[in-house]
Amino acid sequence: MRAIHFLLCVVMVFAPVQSFAAPYAAMVMDARTGEVLHSRNADTRLHPASLTKMMTLYIAFQAVQRGEITLDTEVTISRLAASEEPSKLGLRAGQKIRLRYLLRGAAVKSANDAATAIAEAISGSEEAFARRMNRTAAAMGMRNTTFRNAHGLTQRGHMSTARDMSILGRHVIYDFPQYYNLFSRRTADAGVRTVRHTNSRWLDSYEGGDGIKTGYTRAAGFNLVASAQRGQERVIATMFGGSSTAARNKRITELMDMGFNRAPTRATIRRPQPPAATPDGGAKTVRVSGAITRSLRPVARSNGAAETIEELLLAVNTDDIAAALAEAVETAAVTPEPRNTVAHSVVPQARPAVQETEVAQLVTQAVTPIVTPMRSDVQEIVTRISTSGGRHWGINIGRYPSQFEAESVLLKVALNEMSSLNGSLRRVVQRSGGFDANFMGLTREGADLACRRLQARGTSCFMIGSDS
């Protein structure tokens, strides 16, 4: 009898602990391709906790991009936002704060009051924002996720999976690389105070770790979507149901190591297709009277070379840069010169046709002057070189089978990264295995910054040069 009584006591002691133990789920993904490298209970619907804020921030980035709101918009804090449970910034009802500070608070501090304020600022109410979250999730292919709020505090029906959160994390990385650094900041100015990252210990301890989001509630356990890049490899690891911060960090490290061991060194980056923005109110219906028999091509504006550059800038994000450049130059070739406004007029002259092989050279001339290569035995394109201020560093963005392909990639990258590559030169150098695409004339800090920004966009990159 004593033995039976002892066993019953043991069951009574441990039963409450087991009832609050969160289920475990995990997924490891090659971020470059979306290939699943490991999964366990990856499609089990569980409480995501503050992993939810990845979607809140994603929609905020999207809204800024579309002009629905700006980073400097003054947001008035509602009573609902101010009353949210911790973690929080401690915002007061009626207080005004810029959106940029709310984004930092939600990303770095995982502040619930900031997340609710973001939702209300964009959609008018948290309920409307949750509907937009669900539409966006569906468009991303997050098939087992339902959002009920913007912060992730436990609510009936607010559920997701390790697979869906991995998909979301991948979209955050590739769709908004200009904002991705928010998720790796150890500290940030959130307007009302400086906040510290919720997972700086793991970021500091794991080589290449740069995000993304932690989450904890009693129902969820300790969750984490993490990402790291080493060389050309980037891995995303997601886990639900850790028993503590230390246990979560240990397990995510094991998952990350597994990912880097299984991921191929080289892989073609297949960026996810960004979902269309779905603001509240739905699409408007436009009724057209009369039958449309044909669609006319808009007449090109007669502003000469500027038209070529403008069309090129609009085509930067296309996959086939060569075709886009060719179309831009052909359009410029048939565009009449502007009429002379002096006493006599000049008859417009059409520009001569341009061969496809001359496209990159002509566009380069339109953007910046070309300096004659210093070595005749090496094929290269050089623009705007500067060696002042220790600008002896550069970056390499790959080796390509043809000079034209290397030049096209350089031009595309230069236009996408004007801010960090401004003042650099583009150089194509022929090697035994192909043509190296390089940017030269950078400082060491500038090369490092440019490389990190390009890697965040999914472009392979490494620094070249020295301080001498």
Q: Residues with catalytic annotation?
A: 50, 53, 110
The per-residue DSSP string of 305-360 comes to HHHHHHHHHHTTT-S-HHHHHHHHHHHHHTPPPPPP-SSS-----PPPP--GGGHH
CA distance 313 to 67: 19
Which DSSP helix (H) or strand (E) runs through 13?
Answer: helix 2-19
Q: Residue 383 in 3-state DSSP?
A: strand
Specify burial of residue 159 (Cβ count, 10 A radius: 0-12, 13-18, 19+): middle
Residue appearing with tokens 């007061």: 92
How far is residue 312's CA from residue 307's CA, in Å, rounded to a whole number?
8
Segment (H or E) for 260? helix 245-262
Terminal C-alpha separation, the chain: 84
DSSP at 74:
E
How many residues are recorded in the chain?
Answer: 468
**What phi and psi, each to the nearest 5 degrees, are found at residue 423?**
90, -5
3-state helix, strand, coil in the chain (%, to 5): 40, 20, 40
Six-digit token string for 379: 């094929």
Structure tokens at 179: 């904002």
Bridge partner list, 29: 36, 236
Which residue type, as a one-letter code, is found at position 416? N
Q: Is it true that the peptide bond before 118 is cis, omega within 30 degrees of 0?
A: no
- Write out the two tokens for 127: 């309920």
Question: How far is residue 84's CA from residue 370's CA, in Å, rounded to a whole number?
Answer: 58
Q: Do residues 157 and 46 touch, judged by C-beta distance below 8 A?
A: no
Per-residue tokens: 378:
């090496």
